[in-house]
Structure 1
Amino acid sequence: MIDRAWRPQFIVIGAVKAATTWVQARLVENPAIFMPPPEPHYFSNEFARGEDWYRGFFEERPESAYVIGEKSADYLAHPLAARRIAATLPDVRLVLQLRDPVERAYSDYKMFYRRGTVKGPPEDYLATPDSPFPRFLQDGLYACHLSRWFDLFPRDQILVYLYEEVVADPAHIVDAVSHHIGVDPVHEAEPATRENSSRSAILPLPLRRALAPLKSSLRPLRGHPVFEGMRSLLAREVAYPPLTPALRARLRDFYARDVESLEAMSGLNLARWKSPTRNVPVA
């Protein structure tokens, strides 16, 4: 068992591209909460590194932070993460933010597109699970993934809410998550602030690749007026290949059975996910 003096008391387990960076940004505005800035991915891809490696993420916790957490959005869909966490942290509070799986898949594709990892249109990657990046579709099968967690944890340890609820009433979500993990909520910034938006202007890909070795050195300069001014001269919004109505309909059919199962399993109202008409902005 992990030493209770430093172990996480809560974990944001996903989903990938469901705006979990937003909820982490809001939680760490609370001085009672500490979360390491990077995602450890310990219980998914880095488990072989061992407990001492994982503990290193929490060494900079200030004394004022009496609630410790972490966010690794890939935990939800990882086949071993739930069992590993249940064996190591059986009492941990879990937070799960879900997004319309069609929009999540397209957002995941866009992240890889702006990185230059994928180059073709969405049809090349989202039309079938048998693609070079099966995670684009598979990570959105929430009922399939969540069933593993419900088998291992009491329902009251898992808070599940929707991306659409964040858009509609972000302050309410901050309150709900705070109470779930055992702290009084703090509202320091405008709750609707978007994090990691695909609409944000970014540097051209060749320049990003050239600067990649300097990423850690440049990080302290972020937010400085001179640095941000120079960046704004070069940054541009990415023009993504669109998700066509035909492919969107195909994706909705792909997820239909899983959405029905998730609705029955969780008690969430997922009517908006079943409708072809969307009013939620795509990130």
Structure 2
Amino acid sequence: MSAGPRIDFMIVGVQKAGTTALYDFLAEDPAIGLSDVKEVHFFDDESVDWREPDYGPYHARFDWTAPRVRGEATPIYIYWREALERIAAYNPAAKLILLLRDPVARAWSHWKMEYARGVETRPFAWCIRQGRRRLFDAEPWGFHREYSYVERGYYGEQVERLFALFPRDQVLILKAEDLRADPNPALGAVNAFLGLPSPAPREPREVHVGREMDYGGGLSAEDEAFLRDLYAADMARLKSLTGIAFG
């Protein structure tokens, strides 16, 4: 790895958990320099030669002219195979921010997004059961950008991997539900984590609200119970690692 400046922090996940709102809030802070697009998608790019990666295209997404704390937000990083390992190789001193949302609500929101986009055509009940087999045909094997409704919710497993790669004092974990209800405590925690002065007070905001359309009904009690049971052991692991609980 060549010497030179590195990006200071990354919002590494999770998808559908308020990462866009957090990015927008941080973009208003003059002490923070964010990437020119919210999701850079560098460390999940399988076309990069990761044996000898060229960080030039990545660094080109940032303004280096002003002395700022620089960061980006690509929420697939926490989930994608080897993305965290690539980040650790790039900057072992990076500070990582992880937003978590109730995994059942996250899965339902994720499916609604893909269904509204026309990427997904099958009902949610099928997707979280038989539809998981589609990941066996994905590249890399077992990982899928769109159909990973269930898999992205295994937070305990993901956090355990994160803590194996980065010291815990380089990781800040927040709950999406808290950011949405009142952003100020979360934003204060982020600035303190980044070594910056407290930000100006903000009002709650809604970003990327789900499209109003016919989804064939809401989240069924049967599907929720199925997912709660599926996630039970992993949620226990998450609680033991972080003290955070959902459901």
Bin of the TM-score, shorter chain as denominator length:
0.7 to 0.9
Q: CA deviation at 1:4?
A: 4.0
2:34 maps to 1:21: no
Q: Which of structures 1 and 2 has the bigger CA Rg? A: 1
Q: CA deviation at 1:19?
A: 1.1
- Distance between the aligned counterparts of 2:150 and 2:225, measured in 1? 14
2:163 maps to 1:150: yes
The Cα offsets for residues 228-256 of structure 1, whole Å up to 9 and x where unpaired, read as xxxxxxxxx22323221111111111111
Equivalent of residue 109 in structure 1, options 108, 111, 121: 111
Where 1:265 maps in the other structure, the secondary structure is: helix
Match of 2:205 in 1: 193
Equivalent of residue 72 in structure 2, options 70, 73, 76: 70
Query: What are structure 2's unaligned runs of at least 5 residues?
Result: 136-145
- Distance between the aligned counterparts of 1:251 and 1:194, measured in 2? 26
Which of the two has greater helix per residue? 1
- Distance between the aligned counterparts of 1:175 and 1:143, measured in 2? 25
Match of 1:119 in 2: 121
Q: Does the Cα contact within 8 Å between 1:124 and 1:131 map onto a contact in 2?
A: no
2:56 maps to 1:56: no
Moved more, 72-81 or 123-132: 123-132
- AA aligned to 1:25 is D
Instruction: Write out the 4+ residue segments of structure 1 that deviate beyond 6 Å after TM superposition.
Output: none
- AA aligned to 1:40 is V
**Residues 100, 173 of structure 1: CA spacing in aligned structure 2 closer, same or farther, 3 A cutoff?**
same
- AA aligned to 1:168 is A
- Distance between the aligned counterparts of 1:182 and 1:130, measured in 2? 44
- Distance between the aligned counterparts of 1:4 and 1:27, measured in 2? 24
Where 1:57 maps in the other structure, the secondary structure is: coil
Match of 1:41 in 2: 41
- Distance between the aligned counterparts of 1:2 and 1:101, measured in 2? 39
The Cα offsets for residues 75-126 of structure 1, whole Å up to 9 and x where unpaired, read as 0011201111111101011100000100111111011011111123211212
Moved more, 168-177 or 123-132: 123-132
Aligned length: 230
- In the superposition, the TM-score normalised over structure 1's length comes to 0.76
RMSD of aligned Cα (Å) = 1.9
- In the superposition, the TM-score normalised over structure 2's length comes to 0.86
